[in-house]
Amino acid sequence: MKRTAVNCHVLAMLVLAAFVQGIRADEPSPGYSMTDYLIYKEGDKVAGHIGACVISRGGKPMACFGMTKEPEGKPEYTFFVVFRSGDKALEVEGSGGRVDSDGIVTKIEEEFHLGPVALPITLETTRDEATMKVTKSKVVVGDQELPEKGPRVVVADFSGEKPVYHLIKVDPPASVIDLADDEHKTWTKAIDTAIAELKEKSPELKKLAD
């Protein structure tokens, strides 16, 4: 099969999205910068995935995550990143990257621009040729390749001269976003709860993260 590489800005399946919801006037507006984002709905059932999403409040990044959900299953984070900014004023300015796919193996290399720094994410999936179900998943955050099975929680530490990516041995948070929420009204609250949950479960993460 022939493999093609396309700039993600012209690829239809890749979305760069920023949504402002109905929030209180004194609350900073939330925003979302994403790679591939695909949701299916049938009646009261929802399924789909988010390759990678940086969610921000008032322009400042809160977290970066991926998610997947089968029609009969529960939503699950494929990875979850929280930030340590130090004295750097991080601000989400968008993203750019490439996708390389032959229909079976898809590789997305994305770089989220956060003001003075960037968060590189690589996502690679392999599908069964007959069923098209994902059989293998690879996630790289910065220079840290995450285990296929096991904790996929990272602190992206931008406080020093060079970024450091800390893999944290903690289960992904139970608080998940609602993929059926088309207007994303509940997403920031879910992420706030998820980060608080991680800090409660992991003293290391609480010490490292903002």
Instruction: For 137-192, write each residue's pLDDT tens digit.
Output: 899 999 999 998 878 999 999 999 999 999 999 999 999 999 989 888 999 999 99
For residues 61-79, average pLDDT? 92
For residues 8-23, average pLDDT? 34
Dump strand ranges (E) for 30-129: 30-34, 37-42, 45-57, 60-69, 76-84, 94-101, 105-114, 117-127
Q: Global pTM?
A: 0.84
The answer on pLDDT for 193 being more than 70 is yes
Query: Could you give the percent of the chain with pLDDT greater than 90?
Result: 61
For residues 113-122, average pLDDT? 96
How far apart are the C-alpha atoms of 22 and 124, rounded to whole Å? 35
Tell me the pLDDT of the chain averaged across its residues. Answer: 85
Nearest partner of 82 among 156, 170, 160, judged by Cα: 156
Number of H helices, E strands in the chain: 2, 13
pLDDT at 150: 79
For residues 18-28, average pLDDT? 40
Place of tokens 């979850």: 80
pLDDT at 28: 61
For residues 63-68, average pLDDT? 95
